[in-house]
Amino acid sequence: MKYYLTTPLYYVNAAPHIGHTYTTLAAETIKRLKRMQGFDAVLTTGTDEHGQKVERSAEASKRTPQEFADVVSAEFRRQWDALGIQYDHFIRTTDPQHHLTVQWLFERCRKNGYIYQGSYTGQYCVSDELYVNEAGPGDPCPFCGRITETVTEENYFFKLSAFQDKLLALYETEKDFVRPEARRNEVISFVKQGLQDLSISRTSLKWGIPLPVEGKHVFYVWFDALIGYLSAVRDTGLWPADLHLVGKEIVRFHAVFWPAFLMAADLPLPKSVFAHGWLLFENDKMSKSRGNIVRTDPIREVVGIEALRYYLFREIVFGQDGSFSYDALIGRYNADLANGLGNLVSRTLTMIKQYRAGVTPAQFDQATGQAAAIAIQAAASAFDRFEFSRGLEAIWTLIAAADKFIVDQAPWKLARAQDEESHRRLDTALGTAAETVRIATALLSPVLPDSTARIWKQLGMRNDLSLIQMKDIRWGEFPAGQAIGDIAGVFPRIDSAVAIEKMRALEVEVGRQQAALLGKTVEEPAGATGAIAPLAPSINIDDFGKVDLRVGLVLSAEAVKGADKLLHLKVDIGEAEPRTIVAGIAKVYKPEQMVGRKVVIVANLEPRKLRGILSQGMIVAASLEDGAPVLAGFLEEVPVGARLK
């Protein structure tokens, strides 16, 4: 049975960080789990290398787009190899075979009547590589909050509007097409609001795949990139994908655009799109411009990748946002791996060597065996639902039960006794401990592949751990009379303060190396010393006088349903009624942080509807390099309604 899964194709406008690592480790762990379930699992990852952001990043680094893409794509591949990630295909969207697949799929869509030529004048978000139909000149993008650009050009359009009912029927009949449930509801809400036809070509851009038509059209980056999942395995018989694993910010592209493209081309649809949450650092989404990026190399060098793998899957409920901190990473490692699993392995093998000359007794405690059966079932079921945290919790419940059993039996006392009953109990204690380690090691092998392989060898097991099937993990099957291997510590305790200091120091150094890789002298938070956005054309004082900027007090704030980046604000600017403002700041500012805050409002901007809400003005913010907003504010007390001049 085949099982084909993918990571996103990572955009090469910046170097990889721990957010990319999180997704890739999760995908590789799922691949290992599926192989334990008897599937021939195949994983595709790769890089998305076209589009305006890449073109601009390449220009800033004084490279051609191809040279820039080569460098950054190689860095992604280097990192995955250094982490020991087992992927099967690495697709680059600059691969000539991918170009042919994109053009082939386009022709299928056009032949079926879903492509037409037209022209477009409207707003374009460079950050999201997305046309924003609901935005007007000078408006922020409703998805990222960055100011959009006005674009006028001839395009080819995809009839996305023709697929609204078909997509809603898909979500209704295939309940697992979008997961988890919160993301499914979000996608359904988005589609029910109405779908507009999608521009899938650009004439103002050179860095892209040419359309097989007359003129200088290149493909819109999302039409191009999504097809990479297919082009990676087009001639292998692996399509359709069983799982696309993505971050929640790109779920609409994978759950709306992608199935519509495939329907239009009469091609099979993927079976499921799973959108996981973000990694937050100090309660904020990681962002290069905010200076809170965490990279993987320092963690790998100081505490090892297995510590990170365990932390990410045990600490974070997969599908939800989760916080990352060095303190919590070391805390989890010492408590669960060093003091928990590592200590059980060490004391068990040491006692077998000391009390039974290194030969493991094949006698087992029935009560612990019952606990093991429960743990095996709970872990297997949780892992199958991608509930990694619950699965690991079940395994550690078994480890705790074995620890308690050892303490209760006190093998060190039984070994000193001379009677036959004490010797029988000693064999049961040692056999039970060793069998618990064997069961836990097998269950943990997809999550901790390197550490479990070392433990497996120390147990003296002769079969290949990577070939163990989940259905074959049963209590009471430790080989009788088996000699253990050489004992070596697997999870030595880590000094938290020393490790964190080393990781922070390496983080700075790796940041500098990545900055040099991208053609920068030093990677600084945006707004510090880096390049600023180009200045707008000059205006006179009369033009400026037309803009009415007012001080406003935020009275209430709430998230806009179905839009991760929008907040719905009620703002008092001294009028009879408060203004309704829709602002693209939800990724940086929580609703409770906004209430009672004074902000700057463009008060005479023509009202516009965003996500069905009439926005009566625009909040003023600086836009950092990655689009993250920083609100304008005041050091001194200033009255509500005061005009800025």
* Confidence (pLDDT) at 313: 96
Question: Sorting pLDDT into bands at 50, 70 and 90, what band is 527?
Answer: very low
- Per cent of the chain over pLDDT 70 is 92
For residue 607, the one-letter residue type is P
* CB-CB neighbours of 92 under 10 Å: 21
The rounded Cα 297 to chain-centroid distance in angstroms is 17
* Confidence (pLDDT) at 284: 59
Q: Which residue has the higher pLDDT, 562 or 297?
A: 297
Cβ-contact 234, 98 below 8 angstroms: no
Q: Do domains 2-277 and 304-472 have the same CATH topology?
A: no
* Confidence (pLDDT) at 296: 93
DSSP per residue, 250-298: GHHIIIIIHHHHHHHTT-PPPS-EEEE--EEETTEE--TTTT----HHH
Tokens of 501: 């200091």
pLDDT reading at 534 higher than 60: no
pLDDT reading at 521 higher than 90: no
Distances (CA, A) of 25 to 28, 279, 390, 409: 5, 13, 17, 39
Average pLDDT over all residues of the chain = 89
* Coil/strand/helix, residue 626: coil
Worst-scoring range by mean pLDDT, 7-11, 144-148, 228-232, 558-562?
144-148
Q: What is the dihedral of CA 534, 291, 24, 440, to 10 degrees?
A: -170
- pTM equals 0.79
pLDDT reading at 153 higher than 50: yes
Averaged pLDDT, 550-554: 89
**How far is the C-alpha of 478 from the C-alpha of 359, rounded, in Å?**
12
Question: Sorting pLDDT into bands at 50, 70 and 90, what band is 542?
Answer: low
Query: Would you tell me the crossing angle of helices 343-356 and 420-444 to the nearest 10 degrees?
Result: 140
Worst-scoring range by mean pLDDT, 104-113, 139-148, 200-209?
139-148
* Confidence (pLDDT) at 607: 87
CATH architecture group of domain 2-277: 3-Layer(aba) Sandwich (3.40)
**How far is the C-alpha of 217 from the C-alpha of 213, rounded, in Å?**
8
Contacts of 407 (CB under 8 A, 6+ apart): none
CATH number corresponding to 304-472: 1.10.730.10
* Confidence (pLDDT) at 529: 34
So where are the chain's domains? 2-277, 304-472, 541-644
pLDDT reading at 571 higher than 50: yes
Length of the chain: 645
Question: Sorting pLDDT into bands at 50, 70 and 90, what band is 522?
Answer: very low
Contacts of 182 (CB under 8 A, 6+ apart): 319
pLDDT reading at 289 higher than 80: no
Angle at 141 between CA 22 and CA 634, to 5 degrees: 95
* Confidence (pLDDT) at 79: 95
Cβ-contact 279, 324 below 8 angstroms: yes
pLDDT reading at 458 higher than 70: yes
For residue 513, the one-letter residue type is Q
Averaged pLDDT, 203-214: 89
* Confidence (pLDDT) at 486: 95
Worst-scoring range by mean pLDDT, 140-144, 263-267, 312-316, 390-394?
140-144
* Confidence (pLDDT) at 34: 98
**How far is the C-alpha of 37 from the C-alpha of 380, rounded, in Å?**
9
Worst-scoring range by mean pLDDT, 101-110, 359-368, 401-410, 626-635?
626-635
Contacts of 176 (CB under 8 A, 6+ apart): 271, 272
Averaged pLDDT, 207-231: 92
Which residues make beta-bridge pairs with 46? 9, 91
**How far is the C-alpha of 42 from the C-alpha of 634, rounded, in Å?**
55
Tokens of 151: 């674009």
pLDDT reading at 188 higher than 50: yes
Question: Sorting pLDDT into bands at 50, 70 and 90, what band is 565?
Answer: confident
Averaged pLDDT, 77-86: 95
Tokens of 194: 């109405």
Question: Right CATH number for 541-644 from 2.60.260.20, 2.40.260.10, 2.40.50.140, 3.40.640.10?
Answer: 2.40.50.140
DSSP per residue, 228-244: HHHHTSTTTT-PSPSEE
